[in-house]
Amino acid sequence: MELFINQEHLFEFLTRQATSNIQPSAKESSLEDFVAPNGNNNSSSPNILVAKYSGDFVLEDYWWRYNLGGFVNYIRSIASQYEGFVFHIDTHGGHAAAAMELDGLFQDLKKYGKVIVHSNYLQSAGIMGTTNADRIVGNGEFSDFGSVGVYYELSKWIADLYKKYVVFAYSKKSPDKNKAFREFLKTGKVDLYEDMATKQDEKFMELVTKNRPISGEYKDSLDGGTFMGLDAKLRGFCDHLGTLDFAIDLAKKQ
């Protein structure tokens, strides 16, 4: 079976536009409509689910698209039907909480079969959320991995609006409540945010080095850079370079 879920496909489906990959039923807008036969009628072959996710790692679903939260929940609801899983994931990153939701899914799926990740580009939270896959496959020499690191994006114009129109009254018993944000509003400094990012980044690096064969030969693999193809493989960000069919074959091997 093949499950297609990403922003473009879902948007096209909700607007009743046909796609080259999906022939959705016209009865209703449900995730079940994204399940289609993979063309393999050999009953002796293990039943492999192929799920595609593209975009930022965000937990919440919105009315026009499914994000990672809905994606993970739906996979959980049908997981027992399958004996192996291939996730084609293309992402530049996103929220750590969403990455950990995917990580938990991968760990739970292993009781049913192998979990294989296939990707054109897998960065930041994408790396964080997939370290527990059995194998990671880059889609050829131009596949891109890395961007290990944590950062906060702070808007100056929103800070200006807060300072002009909003007054906060905090309990005197909670002096550290929103401390970093209060400091940013008051002085424009981001030192406390940088401290928070550094602590989270240390846990990120620990997760990657624990679950991935990151080569000690390269000293800059976890410095925030991105690496392509063979370079990413040599560093340990992916295990193979190959096609989606190659990734599916890996999932079929018991």
Domain ranges of the chain: 2-148+214-252
- Average pLDDT, integer, range 225-248: 96
pLDDT at 38: 46
Report whether pLDDT(65) > 70: no
* Confidence category of residue 79, pLDDT binned at 50, 70, 90: very high
pLDDT of residue 165: 92
pLDDT of residue 60: 83
- Nearest CA among 118, 127, 50, 52 for reference residue 84: 50
Lowest mean pLDDT among 23-32, 71-80, 210-219: 23-32
220 pLDDT above the threshold of 50 = yes
Residue 243 is predicted with a pLDDT of 95
Q: What's the pLDDT score for residue 59?
A: 87
Q: What is the pLDDT of residues 128-163, one digit of tens each?
A: 999 999 999 999 999 999 999 998 888 888 889 988
CATH of 2-148+214-252 given 3.40.50.150, 3.90.226.10, 3.40.190.10, 3.40.50.2300: 3.90.226.10
Confidence of residue 70 (pLDDT cuts 50, 70, 90): confident
> Tell me: the pLDDT tens digits for 163-196?
889 888 989 999 999 999 999 998 999 999 999 9
Tell me, yes or no, if the pTM score tops 0.85: no
Supply the pLDDT for residue 63.
Answer: 65
pLDDT by residue (tens digit) across 90-124? 999 999 999 999 999 999 999 999 999 999 999 99
Spatial contact of 207 and 131, defined as CB atoms under 8 Å apart: yes
Q: Is the pLDDT of residue 6 over 60?
A: no
